[in-house]
Structure 1
Amino acid sequence: MEALMQVQNLASSDHWDRVKKELKNELGEDVFSNWFGRVKHEETIGDSVRLSVPTRFLKNWIKNHYEKKLVGLWKREIDDINRVELTVRGALRPRQINVSQQPKAIAARRISGRPGPFESVPQIGSSANIADIPCLADTGEEAAAEFLSGAALNPKLTFEAFAEGASNSLACAAIRQIAADHDGALTMLYMHSDTGIGKTHLLQAAATEARRSGRSVAYLSAEFFMYHLVPALRTPAFPVLRQAMKSIDLLLVDDLQFLHGKQGHDEFSRTLEILMEAPRQVIMAADRAPEALGTLSARVMQRIETGEVIGIQATDYALRHEILRKRVAAARRTHPSFSVPDAVADYIARYVISSARDLEGALNRLFAHNQLTKQPVTMDLAEKTLHDLVRIGEPRAIKVEEIQQVVCKHFSVTKADLLSSCRARTLVRPRQIAMYIAKVVTGRSLPEIGRRFGNRDHTTVLHAVRKIEDMITRDDTLAQEVELLKRLLNT
């Protein structure tokens, strides 16, 4: 009988491998790793499969969001399966709660772990003991530990591996100071740039450096914030979790622009306010300026305004060349035979201009080709392999609609607003910039541009063009912003 059970369990392990493969295909590598990377198959008995997870939080999340999917995938493997049971590995037995002095109704609710309508969960620091908080003995410490560990850090994203140049030197210097906790360092830093410019690299480098020096650090990605932290704050673990928040020295929040929507504006702001109560230093990153997010409460905005807001500009040729040099050097540490001729490096730095991420993608393609074919990297290979990434020759024809789309995204306005008759300052300036760029890069006539912008008269377009022309001669920041928009149109 024991031998038969061992054979059944081995067969079930094969079934579980196939279930995991299907989950990975359906959910994607990142989501699968986050939620199912630590799930183990324990046994299959009758119509039931038992899986184990390391924390109660993970158990509840999978049960609420993926239980039906798991049952369906298991039924494809074993037709008799009707139930998937999730257990917590090494779970502690519930602590005994003294309910002898409580009314029976409240005592029953205590035992079930659900406070009644007029019964609040005891707060840390009150006379109540942690053991008396329903479910907290099992979940509070786990949730706090998970919060303090934060989102996973990529060990390759360090300050040493970061390429510094004119466009990011200010942000890099500020973050280095905060990570090292130098005297006089900023307490609040907000940085913004387009995607693929290096914000995440800087944040993770700061987290790694600060932890190395013994500081308590919480690095939260948008995904970790929404799918780990906010749900945990709704559980009885909240008091312990809030106490853990107060113990951190440095808080880092990445991809701030994604932290809304499903959770709602109010809930997002309240959670962020709690997070920002305690840490002496905070670094945030997003793809736009704070006033353009539209999801920050007055208190959060006030905290941001007391610190420094730094924009990171697009990479220039020198910085792109430095990024390539560092990436090639890193590749050569494990593959000494890999090399990129100077002419090829110059070609990539000069023409792969959309983002640092595309630069790495270009180099990865050449590296993969070199490793698979054992052929050296040449200019001919680069031209054939990277043809879809480079920008060479005559600029392509740009449509007015493309200009409107880029400007709307940059200024966080809708196309309907851009074409409307509204004269609000927040709309007039983006509209005038879009008209100016349309005139400069498309060669369209003023009346034609006017028709594309809500049937405006050609004199309105002419006024906008002259206005922006005059302003960019006196305002370097605006001139850089307009140039950035032009570059975005060519990517």
Structure 2
Amino acid sequence: MSFDKSGEGYERELWARVRARLKASVGEDVFASWFQRLELEEVVADLAHLSAPTRFLCSWVQSNYSDRLLEAFQQDAPEVARLQLTQRVNGQARVRLAPKPEQASSAQPEAPEQPKVTAPSQAPRLVHDNSANKGDALAGSAIDQRMTFDTFVAGGPNEIALGVARQVANAVINGTVSYNPVYLHSSVGLGKSHLLNAIAHAASAADSTRTIVYLTADHFMYSFITAVKSQSAIAFKEWLRRVDLLLIDDMQFLQGKSATEFGHTLGTLLTGAKQVVVAADAPPRDLELVDDRLRSRLSGGLVVPITGFDYELRRGIVQRRADQAHARFGVQFPSAVIDYIARAVVSNGRDLDGAVNRLVAGYQLTGELITVPMAENKLADLVRTRDARKVRIEDILKMVSRHYKVPRTELLSARRSRDVVRPRQIAMYLAKILTARSLPEIGRRFGGRDHTTVLHSVRKVEQLMRDDSELCQEIELLKRMLEE
């Protein structure tokens, strides 16, 4: 069916036909991911100008679907031989094309014509692109503008990690590779994410041409799964392997096929002399959900621990936060209060930040001056709280195996005899209450069992503990031994 190419609605009807053709060609899911938010701005001579809400979407479509788009246009408008995609800002395309022929005598183009979009281009640099829509698989994790080297408080426990982070940033700026990969690990709140953000800031500020990608592990998994669902996994892998600096945070949450894919990507990046920095809450050997090959690769780089903060570093952090509160709110922190917080709150940096925030809020809401007695009252639940020892499922298996004299292999087996089932149920119960692992994760660690099996075991042990005081004491003993 033909339609009037001279009418006012020509472009609107043309775009409707192209969209319908694309949807039928690629399917609903792919269309919704990559074409739904495209708009046809205008058709000028042999050039169709499209716009998208993000730079990433522009780059992804032109890199992976430009030929298919052009083919869809040419079925109704064979004169269209080129495509151009630009980003929309506040609902309007940043770059307009040359005016239509009838307007050429009275108007000038607002900007020079952009390069033709006929071949895949480099993927977007994402370190500053935090405006991407949440639906974009590779929009990147947001960079915290406050986390720079200038705002990082250095001290004995973190000075090596800080030095390594600065060296990595300088190497990226100079186009070289420092240690690779770099693996930072510590318990929560000790500055790992701050250093990753600081590296990204420093490297991108010095050289904006570098392709720098910061992703949390859950964002990496989401990106990979989305790419697989949209049948663009190969393009996803190729995009990720073109980066100059890859920063992955919270590595301990990477699992399954995403962990396998990250292992392959890591190997490619190392072979290509690209820089990788990873942060996690445990050393590589303790990453229970990743395979041995990936653990080996991570261990083969530079592994840098950040230990618990000493008094001097805690005081430095509190002093920095107190100075910021004074500059922002006019709140005075006496030296004695800063000393008290540094000595009393010993868990992590986030609790130190929270302590200062509580006192500032108390002052603003009640007008009460910040004193040591006030701090003692407001911070009672934070005082001298220490992180319990991180218990791993492997530790639980070893402890239960030794205590009940049941081989570890039997605990993971399919055997249903009473002398194996009861210790296995107790081990699952301990894994549920002593670790942050989900029921499906625990099931996988116990021989690939279903999460409903784990839930049944937990409830069974809870019932037995209510009815059997000796078992209750026995399990409490196991808990104390695991937490020591």
> Normalized against structure 2, the TM-score is what?
0.55
Query: What letter corresponds to residue 325 of structure 2 in structure 1?
Result: A
Does the aligned pair in 1 maintain the 2:212–2:243 contact within 8 Å? yes
Structure 2 match to 1:477: none
Superposed, 1:173-192 pairs within 5 Å as 173-181=163-171, 185-192=178-185
Residue ranges of structure 1 left out of the alignment (5+ in a row) = 1-58, 65-85, 94-123, 396-401, 428-447, 457-464, 466-481, 487-491
Matching residue of 2:283? 289
- Map residues 162-177 of structure 1 onto 2, 5 A cutoff: 162-177=152-167
Aligned to 1:242: 237
Count the aligned residue pairs.
315
Q: Is 1:257 aligned to residue 255 of structure 2?
A: no
Q: 1:277 corresponds to which residue?
A: 268
Match of 2:357 among 343, 355, 364: 364
Q: Whole-Å Cα distance in 2 between the matches of residues 455 and 243 of structure 1?
A: 52
CA distance in 2, matches of 1:323, 1:454: 37
The equivalent of 1:314 in structure 2 is 308
Cα contact 1:194–1:287 (8 A) shared by 2: yes
Q: Quick check: 2:224–2:236 contact (8 Å CA) kept in 1?
A: no
* Residue of 224, 231, 242 corresponding to 2:226: 231
2:336 and 2:351 mapped to 1: Cα distance? 18
The aligned counterpart of 2:146 is: 156
The letter of the residue matching 1:328 is A
Contact 2:165-2:195 within 8 A present in 1 as well: yes
Cα 1:133–1:175 shift into 2, 3 Å? farther
Deviation at 1:133, TM superposition (A): 5.4
Match of 1:377 in 2: 370
Kept after mapping to 2: 8 A contact 1:217/1:250: yes
- Say if 2:401 and 2:407, in contact at 8 Å, map to a contact too: no
CA-to-partner distance for each residue in 1:132-163, whole Å, 9 max, x for gaps? 3589999x989954866420011111111111
Whether the 8 Å CA contact 1:362–1:386 is kept in 2: the answer is: yes
Query: Which secondary structure state, in structure 2, belongs to the residue aligned with residue 344 of structure 1?
Result: helix
Secondary structure, counterpart of 1:332 in structure 2: helix
Give the alignment partner of residue 132 of structure 1, picking from 63, 67, 73: 67
- Distance of 1:322 and 1:232 partners within structure 2: 44
Q: 1:55-74 counterparts in 2 under 5 A?
A: none
Q: Is the 8 A contact 1:189 1:309 kept in 2?
A: yes
2:37 is aligned with 1:88: yes
Name the structure 1 match of 2:197: 204
CA distance in 2, matches of 1:203, 1:227: 20
What is the alpha-carbon distance in structure 2 between the residues aligned to residue 222 and residue 310 of structure 1?
19
Alignment partner, residue 121 of structure 1: none
Provide TM-score, normalisation by structure 1.
0.54
1:218 paired to 2:208: no
Q: CA deviation at 1:233?
A: 4.4
1:329 aligned onto 2:320: no
Return closer, same or farther for 1:225/1:407 CA change in 2, 3 Å cut-off: closer
Q: Mark the CA change 1:410 to 1:189 in structure 2 (over 3 Å): closer, same or farther.
A: farther
Give me the whole-angstrom Cα distance separating, in 2, the residues matched to 1:206 and 1:412.
Answer: 35
Give the letter for the 1:408 counterpart: V
Residue 287 of structure 1 deviates from its aligned partner by: 1.0
Residue deviations 1:367-386 (CA, integer Å, cap 9, x gap): 11223334331112111111
The 3-state SS of whatever aligns with 2:39 is coil
* Offset, 1:130: 5.1
Following TM superposition, the consecutive aligned residue runs of length 4 or more in structure 1 with deviations greater than 6 angstroms are: 134-138, 140-143, 453-456
- Listed one character per residue, the Cα deviations across residues 402-457 of structure 1 (whole Å, up to 9, x for unaligned) are 98xx4633965446446443688xx9xxxxxxxxxxxxxxxxxxxx9xx948999x
Contact 2:220-2:258 within 8 A present in 1 as well: no
- Give the distance between the partners of 2:246 and 2:362, measured in 1 at CA: 40
The 3-state SS of whatever aligns with 2:294 is: helix
Aligned twin of 2:459 = none
Distance 1:421 1:371, change over 3 A: same
Indicate how the Cα distance of structure 1 residues 452 and 375 shifts in structure 2: closer, same or farther if over 3 A, else same.
Answer: same
Q: CA deviation at 1:327?
A: 1.5
Aligned 8 A contact 1:135 1:237 in 2: no
**Percentage of identical aligned residues:** 31
Secondary structure of 2:213's match? strand
Aligned mate of 2:391, from 408, 417, 420: 408
Question: Take 2:216 and 2:300, find their aligned partners in 1: how far apart are those partners?
Answer: 23
